[in-house]
């Protein structure tokens, strides 16, 4: 519910411009593209974690899980 285009598509925003002018953004596809470019250019390993059942407010909606994943990633980096 953090994507105004998605909220507009649901009819919650008066005067929403419709999909042709303001489509909801394909976030997972965009993230995959960015991570793929990063991995290709840096050679660094990339790990993507998809948390089901949430919108784009992952830091708000799943703050404990995000903190856990950051702890895992930073502790793994120290072991390397």
What is the distance, to the nearest Å, from the Cα of residue 62 to the centroid of all Cα atoms in its chain?
Answer: 12
Using CA of residue 62, residue 72, residue 48, residue 27, what is the dihedral sign? positive
In the block, tokens 């909801």 appear at 24
The pLDDT value recorded for residue 1 is 57
Per-residue model confidence as pLDDT tens digits over 4-62? 788 888 888 888 778 777 787 777 888 899 999 999 999 988 888 988 888 768 889 99
pTM > 0.85: no
The Cα-based distances of 75 to 62, 63, 65, 71 in angstroms read: 20, 18, 15, 6
Residues 6+ apart with CB under 8 A from 24: 3, 5, 6, 9
Q: Above 60 in pLDDT, residue 66?
A: yes
The pLDDT value recorded for residue 52 is 87
The pLDDT value recorded for residue 11 is 83
């Amino acid at each position: 519910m953090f994507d105004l285009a998605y909220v507009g598509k649901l009819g919650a925003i008066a005067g929403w411009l419709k999909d042709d002018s303001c489509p909801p953004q394909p976030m997972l596809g965009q993230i995959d593209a960015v991570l793929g470019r990063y991995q290709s250019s840096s050679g660094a390993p990339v790990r993507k974690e998809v948390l089901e059942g949430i919108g784009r407010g992952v830091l708000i909606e799943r703050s404990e899980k995000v903190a856990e994943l950051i702890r895992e990633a930073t502790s793994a980096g120290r072991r390397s």
